[in-house]
Amino acid sequence: MTFQDLNLNTPLYNALDDLGFVTPTPIQAESFSVVASGKDVVGIAQTGTGKTLAYMLPILRNLKYSRQDNPRVLVLVPTRELVVQVVSEIEKFSKYINNRVLGVYGGTNINTQKQAVAQGQDIIVATPGRLYDLAVSRVLQLKSIQKLVIDEVDVMLDLGFRHQLLNIFDILPERRQNIMFSATMTKDVDDLITDFFINPSKISIAVSGTPLENIKQVRYDVPNFYTKVNLLEHLLQDKDEFSRVLIFVAYKRMADRLFDKLEELFPNETCVIHSNKTQNYRLRSIEQFREGENRLLVATDVMARGLDIDDVSHVINFDTPDYPENYMHRIGRTGRAEKEGYTILFSTEKEQEARERLEELMQMSIETLELPQDIDISTELIEEERPQLQERYNPIKRRDEDAPGPAFHEKKDKNKKENLGGSYRREIAKKYKKPKTRGDKNYNRRNKKK
């Protein structure tokens, strides 16, 4: 099957030609007619399978030219990084189409975004919080939305966006097409579908838990953090082979710790992203990695999910994730768009159980490699690895260091200001010495009539 078999139009064919895309990926081939039919759709596909194009192609194909200000397509994604990425994908495919696309997300000046919205848009790509704020401010009118796409729903629900999603559903027109993509089916996702989707068509490419076949997986048993660092150093010395390496760790502190080590070992080759880093820092890190300026990127699970970075030569699981789904997401960063991928898993003694669980999910065992001879086996332990003698069992204490807390929505200083009401109102108040509100206006009008 080629794109010629899909009922596209010349502008789209030209854009695809420019990008060198010839064959639709399986999710694209399956989704096209279903999404185009206007029915509600639930797609289960891992990132890297080409799912952005799977929903955007039929949408762009059917989006008529319009001068109306209110957007007609709304794409919700969980992170700001994804907003940037999806907007850039849409722009590539829209190269020969006269449409207006805008990405909006929190942590940046809302007034600039309001101005952009007010200019009139066709497609809005947004994180839920900022989208809701814009809608409540009435600058963004959602009454013309015909298609709602929610991408990476599982991540979105993981991050606690359910409430915000429901708020948004409330203000959207009832007659609309719902299109949803998720990498995994979870109970939360299922509940959301049952509550809000009308008899959706399900398209499932890789059943959750099925690794992409073009990813070679191997693993090492490694006793502790420092030995893992030694093994990593050994592997990464082969710069031709390990040309673009994404290294996953479970939580922020570990990300920083590993980043510091790698900076020592491979100066100016490493960058890091996690949710305590500022938006600009994260975008810069991703850019440096994507452009090949930096060869190594250390990332936590939540930050890296959904990221589309081409040609990742290796995904290294510096630890073994507790949730097998996270492993699936991690390894999905390599072997994208049907290219060969390679992933390596490090497991300590403590992590063997988690490793068994993920092998069970995949129904395969990962090939085990012997530690290379010249690796120093360290006996030094990091804080988390030392026996916790003092620690008593305390069911109330939660180990939620990496829970996506407020830092995820971290605001710039200038946005932390208290909301004093619209600046217009304050300016007028300064000028006229008393607040001039609609209330006053009516009062004055009434008084005038008398």
Interface contacts to ligand AMP, rule CB under 6 A: 21, 23-25, 28, 47-53, 308, 310, 336-337
Question: Which tokens hold the place of 264?
Answer: 């020592």
Residue number with CB closer to ligand AMP (34 or 354): 34
Name the 3-class secondary structure at 297.
strand
- What's the closest the beta carbon of residue 92 comes to ligand AMP, in angstroms? 7
CB of 48 or CB of 341, closer to ligand AMP? 48
Helical spans, DSSP H, in 340-437: 352-362, 423-432
| Residue 263 Cα to chain centre, angstroms | 26
Q: Which residue has the tokens 């390990």?
A: 242
Q: How far apart are CA 233 and CA 372, in angstroms?
A: 12
Angle, helices 225-236/252-265, rounded to nearest 10 degrees: 50
Dig out the tokens for 62 from the structure.
């059917």
- CB-nearer residue toward ligand AMP: 270 or 326: 326
As measured in angstroms, the least distance from the Cβ of 77 to ligand AMP is 11
- If the CB atoms of residues 43 and 128 are measured against ligand AMP, the closer one turns out to be 43
| CA distance linking residue 209 with residue 304, whole number of Å | 18
Smallest gap from Cβ 50 to ligand AMP, in A, equals: 3
What does the block give as tokens for 324? 């097998």
Q: How far is CA 144 from the centre of its chain?
A: 26
To 5 degrees, how large is the angle CA 118–CA 120–CA 121? 120
> Cβ of residue 229: shortest distance to ligand AMP, in angstroms?
31
Residue 40 vs 308, nearer CB to ligand AMP: 308
Whether the CB-CB separation of 243 and 379 falls below 8 Å is answered with: no
Closest CB to ligand AMP among residues 48, 78 = 48
Helix (H) or strand (E) holding 112: helix 110-118
